[in-house]
Amino acid sequence: MIGRLTSTERQYAAVVLSLLVVAGIAMAALGRNDALGVHGVLVILFAGGLLYAVLSAFFEPEPREDREASYYDDPIKAGIVLSMAWAVFGMFMGVWVAAQLAWPSLAFDAAWSTFGRLRPTHTSGVIFGFGGNALIATSFHVVQRTSRARLAGQFSPWFVLFGFNLFCVLAVSGYLLGVTQSKEYAEAEWYADLWLVIVWITYLVLFLRTIARRREPHIYVANWYFMAFIVVVAILHIVNNLAVPISWGHAKSYTIWPGVQDAMVQWWYGHNAVAFFLTAGFLGMLYYYLPVRAQRPIFSYRLSILSFWGITFFYMWAGSHHLHYTALPHWVQTLGMTFSVMLLVPSWASAGNALLTLNGAWHRVRDDATLRFMMAAAVFYGLSTFEGSFMAIRPVNALSHYTDWTVGHVHAGALGWVALITFGSLYTLVPALWKRERMYSARLVEVHFWLAIAGTLIYVFAMWNSGIIQGLMWRTYTEDGALAYSFVDSLVAMYPYYIARAFGGLLFLIGALICSYNIWMTVRSVPLAERRDSDVPAAVAVPGE
Partner 1 sequence: MEVNERDPVTGRETTGHEWNGIKELDTPVPRGVLMFLIVTHIWAIAWWFFVPAWPLGTTYTKGLLGVDQRTTVEERVVEGQQERSVWMTRLESESYDAILADEALMQTVRGTGRQLFGDNCAACHGRDGRGRAGYPDLTDDDWLWGGGPELIEQTLRYGINTAHPDTRIAQMPAFGRDGMLERDQVRSVAAYVYSLSNPDYSTDENLERIEAGRDVFATTCAACHGENAEGKLEIGAPNLTDARWVYGGDLQTIIASVHGGRQGHMPTWDERMTDAEIRTLALYVHDLGTGQP
Q: Give residues in contact with partner 1 (CB under 8 A).
A: 145-146, 148, 216-218, 220-221, 288, 291-292, 296-304, 306, 325, 329-331, 333-335, 337-339, 341-342, 344-346, 348-349, 352, 359-360, 478, 480-489, 492, 534
Cβ-contact 136, 164 below 8 angstroms:
yes
Min dist CB 409 to partner 1, Å, is: 19
Min dist CB 326 to partner 1, Å, is: 9
Measured CA to CA, the distance from residue 261 to residue 445 in angstroms comes to: 46
Cβ-contact 532, 440 below 8 angstroms:
no
Cβ-contact 292, 324 below 8 angstroms:
no
Cβ-contact 27, 19 below 8 angstroms:
no
Measured CA to CA, the distance from residue 130 to residue 84 in angstroms comes to: 6
Min dist CB 262 to partner 1, Å, is: 19
Min dist CB 481 to partner 1, Å, is: 4
Min dist CB 284 to partner 1, Å, is: 13
Cβ-contact 493, 476 below 8 angstroms:
no
Nearer to partner 1, 122 or 145 (CB): 145
What contacts 50, CB < 8 A, 6 or more positions away?
A: 13, 17, 162
Min dist CB 540 to partner 1, Å, is: 18
Nearer to partner 1, 190 or 287 (CB): 287
Nearer to partner 1, 146 or 181 (CB): 146
Nearer to partner 1, 144 or 181 (CB): 144
CA 29 from centroid of its chain's CA atoms: 33
What contacts 357, CB < 8 A, 6 or more positions away?
A: 290, 291, 294, 296, 297, 298, 299
Nearer to partner 1, 220 or 440 (CB): 220
Nearer to partner 1, 28 or 349 (CB): 349
Bridge partners (DSSP) listed for residue 243: 255
Min dist CB 305 to partner 1, Å, is: 9
Nearer to partner 1, 11 or 338 (CB): 338
Min dist CB 392 to partner 1, Å, is: 11
3-state SS, residue 436: strand
For the chain, the first-to-last Cα distance in angstroms comes to: 34
CA 466 from centroid of its chain's CA atoms: 26
Nearer to partner 1, 296 or 435 (CB): 296
Listed in sequence order, the DSSP H helices in 213-272 are 221-240, 259-272
Task: Give the strand pairing for 243-245 and 253-255.
Answer: antiparallel
Nearer to partner 1, 90 or 382 (CB): 382
Listed in sequence order, the DSSP H helices in 358-419 are 362-367, 369-391, 394-400, 404-411
Min dist CB 269 to partner 1, Å, is: 20
